[in-house]
């Protein structure tokens, strides 16, 4: 699982401006908070397998859980989208529509899930152990170490990246590799988020071409609350060392956007990636 809205899990860890995680919107309702989105082809490439994990242990009857599958003829140039929209009108009752290709409704919590009448997709919805390894405590400690160095005068270089000396970089990375001074541990081991698992015929998704791009979202009827494609983009690359209010604003705006409207966040993401690169490069001086 990513660093998504773990305030409910990490209540015992002191929150600081430099190590906040997700947005107030999804912290307020973990059922809207996407932990991870996974996508992979079946061995025969006939089906695409999709998983969305939700930080909460249940689904909301007020939300839509959406997989967006974009397709195109070449990398980075998609021209068509198929949406798979799932809702939960009642406890253990799911309805999912895969574009105009197929539809399921009923209790999808058994291991076999539900198959649509057109046999184009199968859906499971229930609790599962998310396999993402996440040393949450080590990450938070690393952010705090970096923030402390900036407050103590580390400053920024000409590119706007933190100017950490080799000793500080080693100290930050040491925190990232450990948990409370010991070996790095998975803070989320045994965590069982609500999960939607789908297997869908590939040909349903390739209207624009053979290359597919996947991202997930949670939304109300009025607005999008959370989104995820590449793990940790929103949580770790949007103002990770900024003032809490600045970081929250960036993340809220990012979660409400789509890949097509995401250009305003590119510069901030590049800056954060450059900061990580600067951290490692300082060790080779």
Asked whether residue 143 is assigned to any structural domain, the reply reads: no
The pLDDT of residue 239: 84
The pLDDT of residue 80: 95
The pLDDT of residue 91: 86
> How far is Cα 202 from Cα 207, in angstroms, rounded to an integer?
10
Tokens 């994990």 map to which residue? 53
Mean pLDDT over the full length of the chain: 86
> How far is Cα 272 from Cα 259, in angstroms, rounded to an integer?
19
In tens, the pLDDT along 36-52 reads: 899 999 999 999 999 99
Asked whether residue 61 is assigned to any structural domain, the reply reads: yes
In tens, the pLDDT along 231-280 reads: 778 878 888 878 888 889 999 999 999 999 999 999 999 888 887 777 76
Asked whether residue 262 is assigned to any structural domain, the reply reads: yes
pLDDT more than 70, % of the chain: 91
Tokens 């409400």 map to which residue? 256
> How far is Cα 9 from Cα 20, in angstroms, rounded to an integer?
13
The pLDDT of residue 234: 83
Judged against a pLDDT cut of 90, whether residue 199 lies above it is answered with: yes
The pLDDT of residue 150: 86
Judged against a pLDDT cut of 50, whether residue 93 lies above it is answered with: yes
DSSP state of 4: -
DSSP state of 139: H
For residue 190, with 0-12 CB atoms within 10 Å meaning exposed, 13-18 middle and 19 or more buried, which class applies? exposed
Range of the domain at 229: 24-132+186-276
Asked whether residue 194 is assigned to any structural domain, the reply reads: yes
Q: Is 28 left (phi over 0), alpha (psi -120 to 50) or beta?
A: alpha
72: which strand partners? 78, 211
In tens, the pLDDT along 124-177 reads: 999 998 777 889 899 889 988 988 998 898 888 777 778 888 999 999 999 999
Judged against a pLDDT cut of 50, whether residue 11 lies above it is answered with: no
Q: Yes or no: say if 102 and 68 are a contact pair by the CB < 8 Å rule.
A: no
Q: Rounded to the nearest 5 degrees, what angle is found at the Cα of 47, between the Cα atoms of 41 and 50?
A: 65
Judged against a pLDDT cut of 70, whether residue 18 lies above it is answered with: no
Asked whether residue 259 is assigned to any structural domain, the reply reads: yes
Which range among 171-175, 185-189, 203-207 shows the weakest confidence by mean pLDDT?
A: 185-189
Strands 47-54 and 194-201: what pairing? antiparallel
User: How many other CB atoms are there within 10 angstroms of residue 100's CB atom?
Assistant: 8
Asked whether residue 85 is assigned to any structural domain, the reply reads: yes
Q: Please enumerate in sequence order all residues whose Cβ is within 8 A of that of 268, keeping only pairs 6 or more positions apart, or say none.
A: 237, 238, 239, 250
For residue 150, with 0-12 CB atoms within 10 Å meaning exposed, 13-18 middle and 19 or more buried, which class applies? middle
Tell me the CA end-to-end span of the chain in Å, nearest whole number: 34
Asked whether residue 91 is assigned to any structural domain, the reply reads: yes
In tens, the pLDDT along 54-77 reads: 998 999 999 999 999 999 999 888
The pLDDT of residue 241: 77
DSSP state of 15: P
Please say whether the dihedral angle defined by the alpha carbons of residues 174, 180, 182 and 186, taken in this order, is positive or negative: negative
Asked whether residue 159 is assigned to any structural domain, the reply reads: no
Q: Yes or no: say if 25 and 4 are a contact pair by the CB < 8 Å rule.
A: no
The total number of structural domains that make up the chain: 1
The pLDDT of residue 283: 66
The pLDDT of residue 6: 30
């Amino acid at each position: 699982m990513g660093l998504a809205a773990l305030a409910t899990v990490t209540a015992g860890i002191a929150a600081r401006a430099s190590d906040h995680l997700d947005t107030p919107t999804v912290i307020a309702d973990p059922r809207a908070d996407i932990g991870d989105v996974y996508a992979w082809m079946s061995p025969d490439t006939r089906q695409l397998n999709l998983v969305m994990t939700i930080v909460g242990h249940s689904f909301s009857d007020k939300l839509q859980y959406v997989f967006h599958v974009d397709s195109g003829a070449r990398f980075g140039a998609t021209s068509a989208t198929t949406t798979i929209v799932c809702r939960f009108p009642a406890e253990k009752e799911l309805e999912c529509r895969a574009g105009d290709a197929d539809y399921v409704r009923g209790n999808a919590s058994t291991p076999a899930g539900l198959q649509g009448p057109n046999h184009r997709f199968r859906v499971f919805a229930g609790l599962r152990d998310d396999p993402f390894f996440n040393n949450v405590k080590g990450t938070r400690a690393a952010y705090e170490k970096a923030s402390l160095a900036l407050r103590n005068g580390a400053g920024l270089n000409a590119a706007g990246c933190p100017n950490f000396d080799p000793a500080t970089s080693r100290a930050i990375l040491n925190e990232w590799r450990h948990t409370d001074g010991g070996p790095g541990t998975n803070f989320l081991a045994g965590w069982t988020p609500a999960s939607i698992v789908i297997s869908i015929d590939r040909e349903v998704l390739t209207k624009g071409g053979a290359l597919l791009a996947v991202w997930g979202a949670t939304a109300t009827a009025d607005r999008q609350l959370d989104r995820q494609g590449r793990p940790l983009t929103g949580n770790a690359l949007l103002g990770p060392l900024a003032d809490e209010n600045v970081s929250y604003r960036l993340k809220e705006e990012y979660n409400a956007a789509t890949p097509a409207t995401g250009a305003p966040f590119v510069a901030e993401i590049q800056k954060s990636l450059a900061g990580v690169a600067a951290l490692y490069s300082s060790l080779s001086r």
